[in-house]
Chains A and B, each alone.
Chain A
Amino acid sequence: MSDKSELSSQSEISELDKSSNTDSNELLPLDHPSVVAAHKRMKRRANRGRRFTYVAAIAIALWIVIPIFFVFSMAFTTEDAVRAYPKGFLPFIPFSTDTMRFFLNFDGVLAGLVNSLLVALITLVLSTIIAVPAGYAISRYVFPGRDFFRISVLAVRAFPVVVLSIPLAVLFIRTGLFDSIWSLSLMHTALVMPTTILVVASVFASVPYELEEAGQVFGATPLQSFRYIVVPLVLPGIAASGLFSFVLSWNEVFAASVLTLDNKTLPALVLTSLSNSPPAFQFAGGFFLMVPSIIFTFFIRKYLFNMWGQVAK
């Protein structure tokens, strides 16, 4: 209520402002000098605003890109350049794969990379297999308990990983599953599944059911119309959600540190050797941790709002 009244008073003011030029409330022809002037003024103001927006956009972009670029520079240069002070950026320091090679030869890094890759892939497959039917169910069927299911999935998503990791570690130690890439994948799957379900549901919801029906009208069986009409349409979205699972698992460090000991994933390894490792190790480790997410963000940028907008609701 208050918003509206304030606005109308505001418009009155600007009305007065304009009428001082035109001294009447009648509609003027578009080529009238005062209209042209007002139009120019508005355009100028809009342009000024636009320029300011560009400045803001570039400033924010720099704030995000500079740290990333700095770490990338350090990850692809000589060890001397990494140790040097003051440090420089890539075009000004020698390009070299020394840092990378040092990191990859570091004890346990290759195994950690392989573990991370395996865990992330298992998580991707498991979560997709389990979540796709559930996502399909909540987007295509109306059934008693549907809202409850949706809400519990959302609630699961909000629960802290800390709460799940420690009891699961205790359970895995008791059952002998501790310190294996499988147990960590099971945990990661539980973490990503809620998001995957909601994203998959939104992807299915974006394919109208009428399309499936149309297929059936033209003589396809329900399975056929699903296979040849729905699947091609939802595949990119499901691939995006799979990528999301992969990246989340690749990034996850708390559960990975709690649930593994000898079979550490890369983040767990980097975390434990952070304090007693040379800068080259940290930079290259940071690089490896960031790369999948940068690629991921590139591929899902179209789905960004579909995914997160939907998840946020």
Chain B
Amino acid sequence: MKSRRRRLIPYFLIAPTLIYLAAFFAYPMFQAFALAIYDDEAALPLLDEPSSQGNEIGRLTQGTRVDIADRQGNQLAESQDQSAELGQEADEAGFSTVDVWFLVEGEGTDGADVTGWMPKSRLRIRDEAPDGTALGGTIRPPVGVGDPFTVIRAQPNEKADEVGTIGQRETVSVIETASVEVWYQVVDAESGTTGWAPSRYVEVFSDEETGRIDGATAGEFTGKYFDRMTDDRKFTSAWQTTLLLMIVILPLQFVLAMAMALVVDARLRFGSGFLYVFALPMGMSDLAVGILFFSIFSGSGLINSFLDTLGLIDSQILFLTSDTRSWIIFAIVLAELWRSTSIVMVILVSGLQAIPRETLEAAELFGASYWQRVRHIVLPLLKPSIQVALILRTILAFQVFAVVIALSGGDVVTVLANEAFRQYRLNNDNVASAYAILILALSIGSAFFYLRAVRHESEVEAV
């Protein structure tokens, strides 16, 4: 018994992590895919009868122009609360969806008592309960010529059977109130699709005969968000710049990181001081580094000040304007080199420390020069560390964001993460998610590429 409990302990310990990651990692991940490829308001299903129990006989996309063929009320099955909510929703949308019907009791035109349903529009309420529920009233006189009587029906529905009629100004008591949602039978003139739809999804024009599908409930998988992403005028520039930055930065970064790692590993005096300084940028925010390099490259910044003090320039060189794209990219490269080389260095140093000193000493004894040792012993043995650092850096390179905004305002030079942010700001959550998924795909793709590439090489070597 005790041993079983002991076996469960690790699962108890990792359970909070799993729950947390499910909620704040797996769910958003899933949601990102959903936002990017699924339109949950793509189409409005049309039913064969004006009731939510009807069968779907067709679909119309949002915005389709339709003819209104017929109109009918249908009692809401749900409670009053929901219908009130529905009415409110409809008011916000600017068109009415809910008719109120009363179950009334009064003296019919034939002299007998009659009980049945009539629309609210025909009753002037004279008696109300404190909560606003109608208790009784008088029948309104009809407007203009027409049927002088008000028809009482068996159901709160214009199509229901007639149970009697009540004359105008007769007093009736209200037994029950029902909310009725209006349904329209819509016809799409082009495709001929026809069917019933609740009025909250149909905007009726003032002629009462035509309208427009104004809402949708049925979701569909769609590529339109990716299309909108690729059609965006900044898309090409964004992915090209992202790749360009990566291709330029990564090699430089690894050379610099290797140099830093070798210096750290050389066990100099003040070695820990150098290590601290080299590691400084590691914990720094990309935004801070963006500001740092902005202050260096800006018109009155460090470089201009320096050149001016030396008397080398007469007027400020403007590096960061919309006409100097390449200077901006150069500044971004430097900023990224400055910021993210430290982490590569740390990974390489931990790799270096794992290389047995004896191997290097043996090589030295055999007369191998420093560069020979680096080239033939250190680099091959560092391959796993280099691989890890490459994967990490590539993934992070797709997320370059604040540095670019700080140095270019996010406009002249743009990258993928920046575009995702811009689309989000424009309330295009779906397109923003498409960008996010693209970044994810590129990250995973490059990780696999490195894993495969490095494995291939080692296989070749083994042969």
Interface on A for B, CB 8 Å cutoff? 1, 3, 6-8, 10-11, 13-15, 17, 49-50, 53-54, 56-57, 60-61, 63-68, 70-71, 74, 83-88, 129-131, 133-134, 136-138, 140-141, 143, 146, 149, 152-153, 156, 158-171, 186-187, 189-190, 193, 197, 244, 247, 250-254, 257-258, 267, 270-271, 274-275, 279, 282-283, 285-286, 289-290, 292-294, 296-298, 301, 304-305, 308-309, 312-313
Interface contact A143-B11, CB-CB below 8 Å: yes
Complex interface: stretch among B48-56, B191-199, B202-210, B416-424: B416-424
**Is the pair B286, A251 in contact by a Cβ cutoff of 8 Å?**
yes
Alpha-carbon gap, A162 to B401, bound state (A): 10
A-B contact pairs, 16 of them (CB 8 A): A1-B461, A15-B367, A56-B259, A60-B260, A141-B10, A153-B21, A160-B395, A161-B399, A162-B399, A162-B421, A167-B29, A190-B25, A251-B288, A254-B399, A254-B421, A293-B280
B347 touches A167 (CB 8 A): no
B367 touches A14 (CB 8 A): yes
* Contact A49 to B370, CB < 8 A, known contacts A71-B295, A143-B7: yes
SS of B interface (majority)? helix
Complex: how many Å from CA A202 to CA B462? 32
Minimum distance in angstroms from A112 CB to a CB of chain B: 13
Q: Which residues of A contact B226 (CB under 8 A)?
A: none
From known contacts A56-B263, A70-B302, infer whether A290 and B424 are also in contact, taking CB-CB under 8 Å: no
Chain B minimum-CB-distance residue to A1:
B461
Give the shortest distance, in Å, between A121 (CB) and chain B (any CB). Answer: 17
- Smallest CB gap from B307: residue in A: A86
Cβ of A25 to closest chain B Cβ, rounded Å: 14
In Å, the complex CA distance between A254 and B16 comes to 26
* Of B99-107, B112-120, B168-176, B429-437, the one touching chain A: B429-437
Selected from A6, A130, A162, A187, the residue in CB contact (under 8 A) with B435 is A162
What residues on A are CB-neighbors of B251 within 8 Å?
none
The segment from B77-85, B137-145, B147-155, B269-277 that touches chain A is: B269-277
Whether A168 touches B24, Cβ cut-off 8 Å, given contacts A65-B277, A285-B291, is yes
Does A6 lie within 8 Å of B376, measured CB to CB? yes
Q: How many residues of B contact A (CB 8 A)?
A: 105
Partner of B366, one of A10, A170, A187, A189: A10
Assess whether A68 is in contact with B292, with CB atoms less than 8 Å apart.
yes
CB distance from A74 to the nearest CB of B (A): 7
B contact residues around A17 at 8 Å (CB): 367
User: With A7-B366, A54-B268, A305-B346 in contact, is A166–B291 under 8 Å at CB?
Assistant: no
Contact indicator A251/B274 (Cβ below 8 Å): no
Task: Write the residues of chain B forming the contact surface with A, with a CB cutoff of 8 angstroms.
Answer: 7, 9-14, 16-18, 20-21, 24-25, 27-29, 31-32, 34-35, 256, 259-260, 262-263, 266, 268, 272, 274-288, 291-296, 298, 300-302, 304-306, 308-309, 316, 338, 343, 346-347, 349-351, 353, 363, 366-368, 370, 372, 376-377, 380, 385, 388-389, 391-392, 395, 398-399, 401-402, 405-406, 409, 417, 420-421, 424, 429, 432-433, 435-437, 439-440, 443, 447, 461
Complex Cα–Cα for A274 and B263 (A): 37
Minimum C-beta distance from B89 to chain A (A): 16
Contact B292 A67 (CB under 8 A): yes
Q: Are A162 and B417 in contact (CB under 8 A)?
A: yes
Contacts of B25 in A (CB 8 A): 156, 159, 164, 190
> Quick one: given A10-B366, A190-B20, are A143 and B10 in contact (CB under 8 Å)?
yes
Also in contact, A166 and B288, with CB within 8 A (given A11-B367, A130-B17, A141-B9): no
Q: Is B305 a contact of A87 with CB atoms below 8 Å? A: yes
B17 close to A171 (CB less than 8 A): no
Using Cβ atoms and an 8 Å threshold, which residues of chain B touch A84? 300
- Known contacts: A254-B417, A286-B292. The answer to whether A274 contacts B366 by CB under 8 A is no
Question: What residue of chain A has the Cβ atom nearest to residue B443's Cβ?
Answer: A160
- When distances are taken between beta carbons in the complex, the residues of chain B under 8 Å from A88 are 305
- Is A133 a contact partner of B13 (Cβ separation < 8 A)? yes
Given A68-B280, A171-B27, A297-B279, residue A253 in contact with residue B10 (CB < 8 A):
no
Question: CB within 8 A of A166: which of B278, B351, B420?
Answer: B420
With beta carbons under 8 angstroms apart, the residue of A141, A166, A297, A312 that contacts B347 is A312
Query: Could you tell me if A138 and B14 are in contact, using CB atoms closer than 8 angstroms?
Result: yes
